[in-house]
Amino acid sequence: MKVAQTFFKAITITSTTLLLGLAGCAFDEPIDYTTGGYEAGPQGDTGDSGSGETTFSSNLIAVQDISAGPHHTCALKEDNTASCWGRDSFGQITVPADLGEVSRIFSGGEHTCALKVDGNVACWGHNGYGESSVPENLSSVTGLSKGWYHTCAVDTNGGASCWGSNPSGVRNIPSDLGQISSISTGGYHTCAL
């Protein structure tokens, strides 16, 4: 099971079960139940924090991956297209019409990024710190991760690139880092393997 939040409410959609939380989701093989273990949200509601995170599109029939941020969630469907729902204060759930086929989707903070099947990256939503402004020379990306206001990528040569806000040097890639296989961003830090 891929899990992106720890408090859940389950809903079965055809052959996939989505477990919906405050703003998070998980999915697993089909199961027989329709409600999970968490019934009350932060204000005693039923898991919806008030910004629509648990209200999702009815076209989510065949989902292969899911990514949950604090206020919005995106799914990668089996046809390699993306669908997002939740708070849309900066256009972070408005998937670009010309996005094309996607291999991974990343939601979080107030922006969303997609790793396209051709190795390019597309980001949309909040861009106050350049977190949605993908560097023009970035290509052949194999991994991607996004923090609150910064985004980082790994390319096929094991190189790292980061863009967006830089508090405490979160985008500063150490000169002795060498080749990496994956990168992970937090709210205000970045780690590489």
The amino acid at residue 93 is I
Closest CA to 110 of 161, 146, 153: 146
Residue 139: partners with Cβ closer than 8 Å, 6 or more residues away: 119, 120, 155
Residue 95 reports pLDDT greater than 80: yes
Residue 143 reports pLDDT greater than 50: yes
* pLDDT at site 45: 29
Token pair belonging to 151: 């985004």
DSSP state letter for 54:
T
Residue 12 reports pLDDT greater than 90: no
Q: How far apart are CA 181 and CA 193, in angstroms?
A: 6
Q: What is the mean pLDDT of the chain?
A: 77
What is the reported pTM?
0.73
Q: What is the mean pLDDT of residues 133-144?
A: 96
Helix locations, the chain, DSSP H: none
* pLDDT at site 59: 63
Q: Which tens digit of pLDDT belongs to each residue from 145-187? A: 998 899 999 999 999 999 999 988 999 999 999 999 999 998 8
Q: Which tens digit of pLDDT belongs to each residue from 28-65? A: 443 222 233 323 222 222 334 455 445 555 667 789 99
Euclidean distance between the first and final Cα of the chain, in Å? 23
Find out whether 10 and 35 touch, Cβ atoms under 8 Å: yes
